[in-house]
Copies of this chain bind each other. A is one copy, B any other.
C-alpha cells in the first residue's frame, strides 16, 4: 500500500521520499513548498512553538484536500506532511509538493494545497515569545501575515 498523500508527523521527517513519490515519467515540473518556524510573528520575536493536531480528523481532511487538488488541477501526483510537537526556529513545519507535465499546474496546485491545509486542517499553533508569554493562535480568518 502506498503511503498516504497527507500525513501528520510527530517527529522531524525526510523530504527525499516525498520528492521521490512525485516522480513520474510524464512529470516535467514539480513545485514544492516548505513552511519553517520563523524567529518572529507579526513583529513579535518568537522563541519556539508547538503544533497540536486532532490527528484522526487532520489526516482525513488532509487526504480530502489532496484528492480535491488531483481533481481540480492537471497534476500527476501531490503530497503533504505537517509536523506536530515542539519545533525550534528554522525547523520544517509543513511540506507540500505537486508534480505535473507543465509548470503552471504544478505551481497552482502547490499553492492551493498549502492554502487549504492552513484553512481547513485541524492543527493549532502555540507560540512562545521572547518576552516569556505564550499563546494559541486562533486566527479570525486566513491571516495574511502567515508565511
Cβ-defined contact, B36 with A27, below 8 A: yes
**What residues of chain B lie closer than 8 Å to A145, measured between beta carbons?**
102
Separation in Å of the A45 CB from the closest CB of chain B? 10
Give the number of times this chain occurs in the complex, counting copies.
2
Q: Once bound together, how far apart are the Cα atoms of A84 and B136, in whole Å?
A: 49
**What residues of chain B lie closer than 8 Å to A38, measured between beta carbons?**
25-28, 101
Q: Does A34 lie at the interface of the complex (its beta carbon under 8 Å from any beta carbon of B)?
A: yes
Q: Once bound together, how far apart are the Cα atoms of A39 and B23, in whole Å?
A: 12
Q: Which of A25, A28, A102 has the most CB of B within 10 A?
A: A28
Pick the residue among B29, B40, B103, B146 that contacts A26 (CB under 8 A).
B40
**What residues of chain B lie closer than 8 Å to A122, measured between beta carbons?**
none
User: Residue-by-residue, is A90-131 near B (CB-CB < 8 Å gives 1, otherwise 0)?
Assistant: 100000000011110011001100100000000000000000
Residues of A whose CB lies within 8 Å of any CB of B are: 19, 23, 25-40, 89-90, 100-103, 106-107, 110-111, 114, 144-147
16 A-B pairs with CB atoms under 8 Å apart are: A25-B39, A28-B35, A28-B36, A28-B146, A28-B147, A29-B33, A29-B147, A30-B36, A31-B34, A32-B33, A32-B34, A101-B147, A102-B144, A102-B145, A102-B147, A107-B111
